[in-house]
Amino acid sequence: MATITLEGNQINTSGDLPVVGSDAPDFSLTTGDLSDASLANYAGKRKLLNIVPSLDTGVCATSTVKFNQAMGDKPNSVALVISADLPFAQGRFCSAEGIENVVSLSMMRNRNFAKDYGVLINDGPLAGICARAVVVLDENNKVIYAQLVPEIVQEPDYEPALAHLS
């Protein structure tokens, strides 16, 4: 279990992020067309997992927009924004913001992704959704970078994450 804060108040997650060097847990998340996606859908690419509480919040929106801008020149990588938002809401956000270089994935069918990655918030007002984190996987799904943002209302560290992509 990890401890983070929400505006200075401590909250706990379900576990810890996968450690650098470990195999990333596979997942089944829901795409915008309501199909399932797993790590196999992005085989052969480096994967940036931008894990956020909800795209309806300013910081989550900002991080998605910034990663979208940065991904345009990284053809061997894919950025995935993962949240508890419904695919329809994710689609509206991406459409309104011109998001073309980030794939949105929803946990609408289950919370196993959040549990497996240790980011499910267990208590406080945001219980049941994800803490803010960034995880980068190599082409073989090994974790090469991981950051659990300690204060949920802060943005992630973009540059270290992006430095692992090509």
- Of 3.40.30.10, 3.30.200.20, 3.40.1280.10, 1.10.10.60, which CATH number belongs to 3-162? 3.40.30.10
Check residue 110 and give its pLDDT: 87
Sketch the domain layout of the chain as residue ranges: 3-162
Distances (CA, A) of 72 to 35, 67, 105, 139: 25, 9, 19, 18
- The answer, as to whether pTM is greater than 0.85, is yes
For the chain, first and last CA: distance in Å?
32
For the cut 90, the answer to whether the pLDDT of residue 166 exceeds it is no
**Of residues 166, 159, 129, the one with CA closest to residue 66:** 159
Q: State mean pLDDT over 39-50.
A: 97
Catalytic residue among 24, 55, 60, 152: 60
Give 9's pLDDT tier (boundaries 50, 70, 90). very high
Interval 129-151: pLDDT, tens = 999 999 999 999 999 999 999 99
**Does 130 participate in catalysis according to the annotation?**
no
Q: State mean pLDDT over 6-22.
A: 95
For the cut 90, the answer to whether the pLDDT of residue 28 exceeds it is yes
Interval 63-90: pLDDT, tens = 999 999 999 899 999 999 999 999 999 9
Give 48's pLDDT tier (boundaries 50, 70, 90). very high
Indicate the average pLDDT of the chain: 95
Asked whether 55 and 130 are in contact (CB, 8 A), the reply is no
